[in-house]
Amino acid sequence: MSMFTPATHRFLGSLVLALAGAATAPVLAMPPGAGPGGMGIGMGGGAMMGGMLPRLLDRVNATPQQRTQIQQILERSRGEHQAQRQARQAMQDEAMTLFSQPTVDANAVEALRQKQMAIHDAASKRMTEAMIEISRVLSPEQRKQMAEHMRQRREMMQRHYRERQAIDTPKG
């Protein structure tokens, strides 16, 4: 069980994904959906994340030394993320194999679910570790500014989503 609330976990995930944009720069040149995992990187695909980190660090006046340290933290996380992604893909294939059998083995499905949860837990733990490492690089004021910007961005994205839903919903 995580020590963070779901809202905090979403924020931490968004922060690490935003900061991970710099660590995945070669992938960001690919069209959305072509990057790791087949769904782009982070929210809205790889192209958006590519510009997010530099803008976030610009907004908080990060020094060149801070930028380098954050890059190093994210590079360490990158290899682990790729290995976990590959493991998740293999488990999805295994799930489809189990599901397509004439008789579905409930024990095998449960064992697979437990393996999936272990992978998810490891990813969550690494994400939290990276957030803590990055927090040590940035000042309290920089972290506060970054969190406020990300909160405003989340609110904007939610507003756009609601507006789009209103347009796409048939009037009856």
Residue 60 located in a structural domain: yes
What is the residue range of 27's domain? 9-145
The whole-angstrom separation of Cα 74 and Cα 93 is: 28
pLDDT in tens, 99-151: 999 999 999 999 999 999 998 998 889 889 999 999 999 999 999 999 999 99
The whole-angstrom separation of Cα 59 and Cα 141 is: 11
Residue 74 located in a structural domain: yes
pLDDT in tens, 59-92: 999 999 999 999 889 888 887 888 888 888 999 9
| Confidence at residue 113, expressed as pLDDT on a 0 to 100 scale | 93
pLDDT in tens, 16-54: 555 544 333 333 333 333 333 332 333 333 333 456 788
Residue 164 located in a structural domain: no
Kindly report whether the global pTM for this prediction surpasses the value 0.75: no
Residues 6+ apart with CB under 8 A from 27: 34, 35, 36, 41, 46
For the chain, what is the domain count? 1
The whole-angstrom separation of Cα 27 and Cα 21 is: 9
